[in-house]
Amino acid sequence: MNIQITQASHATTRRRLMKSLPAAALTFCAANTACCGASQQIPKDPFLDAYNIWIQSQIEFSRVDNLSASGASKYDELDRIWEVGAEAVDLMADISPSSPEGLAALAHVIFAYHGPNDDPGSAAYSEAIKYTDIRLLENLYKTLSGERALPDGF
């Protein structure tokens, strides 16, 4: 990636940088594929294994929480599921992502922990998403993942 800072305005420089990021990630992947040879695979990003465990724990937690049953057994199950997700997050805290997908996953986890806790359609969410730090986290996730919106339910 060859980005030169010129006398251009901050907005122009920023736009050029943001446009070049996805291309730079693809260039990085293509370069790794070319140097590894056609017979070798690029190693899987270990960050994504922990991320997928965390995602599954979030889905399972919501499923069990939405069951009509209540009582100690339901709450014991929720605690167990929560612990699995917490262990996955602890693991992610110690692993550096090694792929663009891993970086997008990291941005998602950070947004889930530090973004608004309200439902995306609520007035409270609309208010919280106006804060610069939250908008920056959202922008980071969208840029790294290539998605136009945040994942549902997080």
At 111-151, the pLDDT tens digits run 888 888 887 788 988 888 888 888 888 888 888 888 887 76
pLDDT in tens, 11-62: 433 344 334 444 434 333 444 444 444 445 667 899 999 999 999 999 999 9
pLDDT in tens, 62-102: 999 888 777 888 889 999 999 999 999 999 999 999 998 99
Sign of the four-CA dihedral 90, 95, 96, 100: negative
Looking at the fold, whether 15 and 53 belong to one and the same domain comes out as no
Provide the greatest CA pair distance for the chain: 65
Q: What is the pLDDT of residue 33?
A: 41
Q: At 68, which helix (H) or strand (E)?
A: none
Q: What is the pLDDT of residue 64?
A: 92
Closest CA to 143 of 44, 21, 54, 49: 21
Looking at the fold, whether 29 and 62 belong to one and the same domain comes out as no
Residues 6 or more apart whose Cβ sits within 8 Å of residue 88: 50, 51, 53, 54, 57
Q: Is 3 contained in some domain?
A: no
Q: What is the pLDDT of residue 94?
A: 95
Whether the predicted model's global pTM rises above the 0.85 cut: no
Alpha helices in the chain (DSSP H): 10-36, 46-65, 72-93, 100-114, 123-128, 132-145
Bigger pLDDT: 66 vs 10: 66
pLDDT band at 152, cuts 50/70/90? low
**Are the C-beta atoms of residues 43 and 98 closer than 8 Å to each other?**
yes
Domain ranges, residue 90: 43-145
Looking at the fold, whether 35 and 82 belong to one and the same domain comes out as no
Residue 4 clears pLDDT 90, i.e. is over it: no
Looking at the fold, whether 89 and 27 belong to one and the same domain comes out as no
Q: Is 151 contained in some domain?
A: no
- Measure the CA–CA gap between 89 and 141, rounded to whole angstroms: 17
End-to-end CA distance of the chain: 33
